[in-house]
A and B are shown apart, each in its own frame.
Chain A
Amino acid sequence: MKDNVPIIELKNVSKTFGGVVRALDSVSIAIYKNEVVGVVGENGAGKSTLMKILAGVFPPDSGEWYYTGQKLTFPKNPKEAVERGVAIVYQEKGVVPALKVYQYLFLGHEDKYSEFFRLKTNEMKKYADEMLKEFHIDCDIENFMYELSPSTQKMIEIAKAILSLRLEYGSDNTASVVILDEPTAPLTVEERQDLFNYILKMKKATSFVLVSHIMHEVLEFTDRVYVLRDGKLVAHYNLSEDKITENDLFKAIVGKEFVEELHATQTGRNVGDEVVLVAKNLTKKGSYYDVSFELRKGECIGIFGPAGSGKSEIIKTIAGILHFDKGVLAVKGEEAKSGELPHVRLTKGVGYFCGRTEEQLFFNWSVRKNISIVNMEKILRKPLPVINFNTEKQVTEKIMQKFRIKTPSVDTDCQSLSGGNKQKLSVGRWFERRPDILLLEDPTIGIDVGAREDIYEAVLEMKNEGVSMVLVSDDPKEYSTLCDKIIFMKSGRVEKVLNALEFKEAIVT
């Protein structure tokens, strides 16, 4: 904060949707030069609306926009926003995998580098190369995007945003803002660290607005934090002066205490003696080797390790999505052969849930259909395969209440639900079905703390009632909240097995 005049200041911004829903209520924020500003809040708190106003997606109903102290109108479209120095990197926009790095960097800006319809490829390459060097991105301009790791891809996306600012807005002007909407959602723990190191380096070139659900990221890497709740600005912390903890931030966001801590004390209870799943020397070449463990009734085992450690492949193998080369897998004393598909495993009692909802849900369907498709056996008029629509509605409503899924009705399109509600819906479907073994892969990826708590509560309820679980995630806290036993994986091999308490100590140190 060398300058006292903010680059961009929004004053008393309000936005109403459909005349009823007040998405933003008189919110004011300021962004200064060379800083990282965090914006946090639950889903539906107004973060996205605020970011979209900043990025020019739509203007607010009322409010003022100041640019280095000068009053201007709101940008009418994203291009105008870029011309005023604001660019956005969306959470899910993604890269174009088939393009080379330099092609992707200049995508949309080819006009500036062409003469008579011919692209000045050499100049583009030269500039792209300079940018990669300047931003210390470790890849070659001739690499294809799909060859890069997810974190490098994200870095290139950020570089692209900065490049577009430079091209459209002025090459040396550092009075610009790049909005990062949950940049770390698709990344693993190590990749997140890389990305933030990069962002901290980039601070000298531009300012950042970081939208994130991950508290410690926000506390560690931002200079100031704005907290939104129900469309209002409820708190503003200057992290260099205010000493606040994750718990403080959590309270500001949801207005209640952590429930996670309560659950942590419950580990190890209600674990039965009956072994429901046995893996013996499971091997899938190139992914994991000689993995053995036993899962008991009501127990939750976590498989922990960095990306590429084989944890994701193991859980997918148990689900029947991938297949193993060697070893033995047995479900409830019955051997499960390698080529079995998910529906066969499901008849044996193995259900799989992944937090990446686009793989799981039917977006063009209503909430009701999404739930009933998994619980078909419950809603049929036995013995006929005919659906009883009343039972269907009852089952749906029960799950929606249980998981506090917020929708106008059971017939609302799944597409229109917020990320957190989609995820709750996706887990909720299994709640009624109750498989004996539930496989959880990244169950709370990319959702806010409130929704996360709801999911933990339901998962723990199932566990207490005797459902066994296997968890794979990127969030160490999730393991300590849910698991009784944690298997550490490294390069495809089991390194050690810890119980919940040992694990807690291990991740603290």
Chain B
Amino acid sequence: MNSSKKKGSEILLAGARTIRTYPPLLMIVVLFIVFSILFPDRFLTPMNLSSILGQFVTLILFALGPSMVVTTGSLDLSYVGVWMLGGILVWHFTPLLGVAAILIIPLLGLVTGIIIGVIQVKARVPSFILTLSVSAGYAGLTSVLSGGYPRVVRGYEFLTARLIPYVPTALLWTIPLIIVAVFIMRSTKVGAYFYAIGSNEEGARLAGINVDRYKILAFTMSGLLTGIGSIIQFQHLGGSVPLTLNMNTLIQPLTAIVFGGTLLTGGSGGPDRTIIGALLFAVLYRGLYISLINPEILQLLIGLVLVLSIVIASRGLKGVTIT
């Protein structure tokens, strides 16, 4: 009796500690309960839960790479561009290369990352504008290459063929990517150096870190991760190539990063927090979605929540340290 009581309190303590490190977890639980009570017949359905997972995959695949860049104090918004241009290139080259054409996307991501990194380091331009411009430029190129029609690429459906009912197969592909990203950031020299650069660039330089090289590496790894992710993303989102840059696709992964508690100024956070941020965003989004409010109002709400979360993420909540 006594020991079980002790065990119980230990579990509670461990839970409290986890919530202290990852406060958004608590928000997920709260939102989940609130939505379940408000919409008992719509929220807790297998269909909706499956949609939440699907949305989560979309967000995390885009946000994973950039969340590594954000720890160095820069931003990478090139993911939408890589995904769009990669898609249309695959459409062009599939007749030529067959299934191997899909590898064009990670290659594109890698090259894009290197180019962005080198420009950012050498020209010292704000990464936000730079990567946004790259996305816009790639979107334009996609439009040109597609000849003005949305293109559907067939032949890769096997990538996302359903294996487990209600669980998006893309999620299964995503898990190893997440593990690799978290491992790199938490347990390797590269990760430690990324955080160092974001926390205090001058200090990192004085500690003997080749700051420029690691900044380029951050963009390169981000680009590569986005590229690999886009293979799955591409099929996950139906295999068709959009022709215009969609603001939502651009903003929502960024929101997921901020939701997770990663400071946009760098030095803290990272992919592990982004997982939670993406899940939180997915739950919130789906919850509001099934509430049947006007889609335009939904947009407004998401915008407001993003602003709020940026404020909280940059100031920190009382009693919560962001590391």
13 CB < 8 A contacts A-B: A319-B206, A343-B208, A359-B206, A360-B200, A361-B200, A362-B203, A373-B193, A376-B193, A385-B188, A385-B190, A386-B187, A386-B188, A387-B192
Chain A positions within 8 Å of B188 at CB level: 385-387
From known contacts A364-B268, A365-B323, infer whether A387 and B206 are also in contact, taking CB-CB under 8 Å: no
Complex interface: chain B residues within 8 A of A365 (CB) = 195, 199, 267, 323
Does A346 sit at the interface, judged by CB under 8 A?
yes
Asked if B189 is an interface residue, CB under 8 A from chain A, the answer is: yes
Contact A360 B210 (CB under 8 A): no
Q: For A343, what are the chain B residues with a Cβ–Cβ distance below 8 Å?
A: 205, 208-211
CB-based nearest B residue for A388? B187
Q: Are A354 and B206 in contact (CB under 8 A)?
A: yes
Q: Which residues of B contact A380 (CB under 8 A)?
A: 189
Contact with B along A267-308 (1 / 0, CB 8 A): 000000000000000000000000000000000000000000
A132–B62 Cα gap in the complex (Å)?
A: 59
Q: Indicate whether A492 reaches chain B with its CB closer than 8 angstroms.
A: no
Chain B CB within 8 A of A226 CB: no
Tell me the smallest distance from the CB of B134 to a CB of chain A, in Å: 27
B199 x A366 contact (CB < 8 A)? no
Measured between alpha carbons, how far is A499 from B193 in the docked complex, in Å? 41
B263 vs chain A, min Cβ distance (A) = 9
Task: Kindly state whether residue B276 has any CB partner on chain A within 8 Å.
Answer: no
B207 in contact (CB, < 8 A): yes
Complex interface: chain A residues within 8 A of B199 (CB)? 362-365
**Contact residues of A between 342 and 364, Cβ < 8 Å to B:** 342-343, 346-347, 351-352, 354, 359-364
In the complex, B231 has a CB within 8 A of chain A: no
Residue A374 CB within 8 A of the other chain = yes
Number of B residues contacting the other chain (C-beta, 8 Å)?
A: 25
Contact assessment for A413 and B189 in the assembled complex, using a CB-CB cutoff below 8 Å? no
* Of listed A361, A363, A365, A374, residue having the most chain B CB within 10 A: A365
Contact of B208 among A351, A362, A386 (CB under 8 A): A351
Size range of the interface on A? 20 to 34
A43 within 8 A of B: no
The answer to whether A369 has its CB under 8 Å from any CB of chain B is yes
Smallest Cβ-Cβ distance to B316: which chain A residue:
A364
Task: Flag if A373 contacts B207 (CB, 8 Å).
Answer: yes
Alpha-carbon distance A369/B196, docked complex (angstroms) = 9
CB of B192 within 8 A of CB of A372, answer: yes
Q: Which residue of A lies closest to B322 (CB)?
A: A364
CB distance from A37 to the nearest CB of B (A): 37
Q: Are B192 and A359 in contact (CB under 8 A)?
A: no
Known contacts A343-B208, A352-B206, A373-B207, A362 near B192 by CB under 8 Å: no
In the assembled complex, the Cα of A372 lies from the Cα of B188 at a distance in Å of 12
* Least distance between B25 CB and chain A CB atoms (Å): 20
In whole angstroms, what is the CA distance A6 to B25 when docked?
A: 57
Q: How far is the CA of A372 from the CA of B199 in the complex (A)?
A: 15
Q: Does B10 contact A (CB under 8 A)?
A: no
B257-271, CB < 8 A from A: 267-268
What is the CA–CA distance of A354 and B200 in the complex, to the nearest angstrom? Answer: 15
Please indicate which of the listed interface residues B190, B195, B268 has the most CB atoms of chain A within 10 Å of its own CB: B195
Residues of B within 8 A of A429 (CB): 207
Interface assignment of B321: CB less than 8 Å from any CB of chain A: yes
Could you tell me the dominant secondary structure of chain A's interface residues? mixed
A-contacting residues, B193-230, CB 8 Å: 193, 195-196, 199-200, 202-211
Within the complex, the shortest CB–CB distance from A73 to chain B, in Å, comes to 28
Residues of B within 8 A of A366 (CB): 323
Residue of A nearest to B203 (CB): A360
Chain B residues with CB below 8 A from A389, complex form: 187
Task: List residues of chain A with CB within 8 A of the CB of B322.
Answer: 364
A360 touches which of B195, B206, B321 (Cβ 8 Å): B206
Tell me the chain A residues, 317-350 only, with Cβ under 8 Å from chain B.
319, 321, 341-343, 346-347
Bound-complex Cα distance A374 to B195 (A): 13
Residue of A nearest to B213 (CB): A343
Of B202, B208, B321, the contact of A346 (CB 8 Å cutoff): B208
Q: How far is the CB of B239 from chain A (nearest CB, A)?
A: 37
Cβ A342 vs Cβ B205 within 8 A = yes
Is A374 within 8 A of B208, CB to CB? yes
CA distance A374 to B189 in the complex (A): 11
Residues A415-444 near B (CB distance < 8 A):
429
Q: Report yes or no: A362 in contact with B205, Cβ–Cβ below 8 A.
A: no
Distance, CA A365 to CA B199, complexed state (A)? 8
Q: Is the CB of B192 within 8 A of A369?
A: yes
Q: Please tell me if the beta carbons of B203 and A387 are within 8 angstroms of each other in the complex.
A: no
Residues of B within 8 A of A364 (CB): 199, 267-268, 322-323
Which residues of B have CB within 8 Å of A387?
187-189, 192
Cα distance, A321 to B210, chains bound together (Å): 13
Q: Which of B187, B193, B211, B322 has the most CB of A within 10 A?
A: B187
Instruction: Enumerate chain A residues within 8 angstroms of B193, measured Cβ to Cβ.
Output: 373, 376
Provide the bound-state CA to CA distance between A386 and B183, in Å.
Answer: 9
- Cβ of B124 to closest chain A Cβ, rounded Å: 15
Within 8 Å by CB of B203, from A341, A346, A347, A361, lies: A361
Is A373 a contact of B206 with CB atoms below 8 Å?
Answer: no
- The chain A residue sitting closest to B209, CB to CB, is A343
Which residues of B lie under 8 Å from residue A321 when comparing CB positions?
Answer: 205-206
The smallest C-beta distance from A401 to any residue of chain B, in angstroms, reads 22
Cβ B200 vs Cβ A363 within 8 A: yes
Q: Which residues of B contact A385 (CB under 8 A)?
A: 188-190
Q: How far is the CB of A42 from chain B (nearest CB, A)?
A: 26
B201 to chain A, nearest CB (A): 10
Residue of A nearest to B207 (CB): A374
**How far is B210's CA from A342's CA once the two chains are assembled, in angstroms?**
8
- From 308 to 323 in chain B, residues with beta carbon under 8 angstroms from any chain A beta carbon are 321-323
Closest residue of chain B to A359 (Cβ to Cβ) is B202
- Minimum distance in angstroms from B122 CB to a CB of chain A: 14
A429 to B204: give the CA distance in the assembly, Å.
13
Chain A residues with CB under 8 Å of B192's CB are 369, 372-373, 376, 387
In contact, B321 and A376 (Cβ under 8 angstroms): no
Kindly state the separation between the CA atoms of A64 and B91 in the bound complex, as whole angstroms.
Answer: 82
Instruction: For B190, list chain A residues within 8 Å (CB).
Output: 385
List which B117-140 residues lie within 8 A (CB) of chain A.
Answer: none
* A380→B189 CA distance, assembly (Å): 8
Interface residues of B in 281-323 (CB under 8 A from A): 321-323
